[in-house]
Amino acid sequence: MPRIFTVSGLRGLAFKDLDYSSASFYAQVFAFFLHAKKLVVGHDTRKSHPQISEGVIDGFNMMGCNVINLGIVPTPTVVFMVRRLNADGGAVITASHNPPEWNGIKFISSRGEFINEQEFRRFSLFIHFFESHPDKIIEFMDYFGECNYYKNPFEEHIRTIIEHLRLKDLNLKVGVDADCGAGSKALPTLLEMAGCKVYKINCSFKANFPRPPEPVPENITKLCMLVKEKNLDLGLALDPDGDRLSIVDDKGIAIGEEKTLALAVDYILSKHKGPVVTNLSTTGLIDHIATRYKCPVYRTKVGEANVVSKMNEVKAVIGGEGNGGVIYPKINYTRDALTGAGIILKMLSKNNKKLSEIVNSYPAYFMLKDKVDISSTDFEKKRELILKKFRGDVDFSDGLRITTKTYWVHIRPSNTEPIVRIIAESKDRKKVKELIARAKEILGS
């Protein structure tokens, strides 16, 4: 299977599609593309990170760049530290929610954001040129740069969250399941500094994840049991690189990662009204909440870079994606599970209601997510048939999103895996199941 290279970064099977050599090449070209002299690097806990991290660091060093190596840290910490250290950019070695046999590289600009669509297109041109002329990159190599480790790499990130949100003496009991990934130390540290009592599972660094990487309800049942058994106020679950946050309420029910952003939007808009940005696959609950505060919602193509670009354009006060990715620009310009957790904790500390009561006060939206193992090319062949079978207003900007007064369905090729994703939402549970079944039948025919 070839490497997947999109605006969401580079991904592939470790040691096969992505190894020391390919990682070094992409890093060299990225350093050249940025005209960089100082770059920040971090990684998650995957077994393949030593080889691929070494490739990225050596690639940067070969181009005369000095590297600040943060080691194992959440992805949002690397993004945060690019700005904090006034670096020219950076890279995170991670495959996020992909299975452990995968790895990847996410590329960060000097703005402290992942590169946007326009930058990705230009970067891609450089990649294609140097792939065709491999000897040319040697002409741009400089002195060999240095690599230095940064002490206490997530301390400044956490301190900023604590100070900005004024998290102190919260006295909440919180369960944490970090899937033995990059957030295994950072999230418990944040909670302890905020005055919470922390109950941990899967919070030691391990190369093999003890549960499937995505923090969806079916994968975090042990955290649900922990919250219920210990009578905790809530549970927080992460994906392996710590940019996605999923929540378990005080009754031990996994409320679904879509509600993470909804809760964060609700709290932030209650304090500071302004535009909200999310993607086409995120729950309509965001629109419901924003309407209550008389704030506009803008929707983009799926992909963090697309959401952040629109947030910058409209000066959004908050944004994110329905996979548990909260983007709060006053702290960080990326999906940040640590910041998301801080916002939820603050909401609970300021509200006399339990988390389950807050969630149950929202109208019920039923969403199902599924996928089909077909290529984007095969999806294009099915496009006209899909449009015949689904009637409604169509958005063509990211696959097909068909919207009616009672439901929406979004069918699109993934940016990070060789699959087509199907997401549907309605206030009618039966209707959602019917929509997913119809889409899968078309794509599988």
- Of 86, 55, 53, nearest in space to 70 by CA: 53
CA distances from 139 to 15, 28, 37 (A): 28, 12, 17
- Of 322, 255, 243, 309, nearest in space to 80 by CA: 243
CA distances from 419 to 155, 373, 377 (A): 37, 5, 11
- Residue 298 forms beta bridges with which residues? 277
pLDDT of residue 368: 94
Kindly report the CA angle at 57 between 55 and 61, in degrees rounded to 5?
115
pLDDT of residue 356: 97
Handedness of CA 205, 209, 213, 219 (dihedral sign): negative
Cβ partners under 8 Å of residue 176, min gap 6: 187, 188, 191, 198, 199, 200, 201, 203, 223, 235, 236, 237, 238
Q: What gap in Å lies between CA 231 and CA 244, rounded to an integer? A: 24
CA distances from 100 to 180, 208, 244 (A): 11, 6, 16
Q: What gap in Å lies between CA 407 and CA 427, rounded to an integer? A: 8
Distance from the first to the final alpha carbon of the chain: 23
Q: What gap in Å lies between CA 178 and CA 79, rounded to an integer? A: 19
Task: Report the CATH fold assignment for 366-444.
Answer: TATA-Binding Protein (3.30.310)
Is there a contact between 241 and 94 (Cβ–Cβ < 8 Å)? yes
The CB density around residue 255, as the number of other CB atoms within 10 Å, is: 23
Residues with catalytic roles: 96
Q: What gap in Å lies between CA 279 and CA 274, rounded to an integer? A: 17
pLDDT of residue 445: 61
Q: Where does CATH 3.40.120.10 sit in the chain?
A: 4-149, 155-360
pLDDT of residue 1: 54
Helix axes 186-193, 337-350, angle to 10 degrees: 30
Q: 135-147: per-residue pLDDT in tens? A: 888 888 878 899 9
Q: 159-178: per-residue pLDDT in tens? A: 999 999 999 999 999 999 99
**Residue 319 main-chain phi, psi, to 5 deg:** -165, -170
Q: What gap in Å lies between CA 285 and CA 256, rounded to an integer? A: 12
CATH number belonging to the domain at 4-149, selected among 3.90.950.10, 3.40.120.10, 3.40.50.10860, 3.30.2130.10: 3.40.120.10
Q: Does 155-360 carry CATH code 3.40.120.10?
A: yes
- Of 306, 280, 246, 289, nearest in space to 425 by CA: 280
Q: Which residues of the chain have pLDDT under 70?
A: 1, 445
Burial 407-439 (b: 16+ CB within 10 A, else e): bbbbbbbbbbbebbbbbbbbeeeebbeebbebb
Question: Model-level pTM greater than 0.85?
Answer: yes
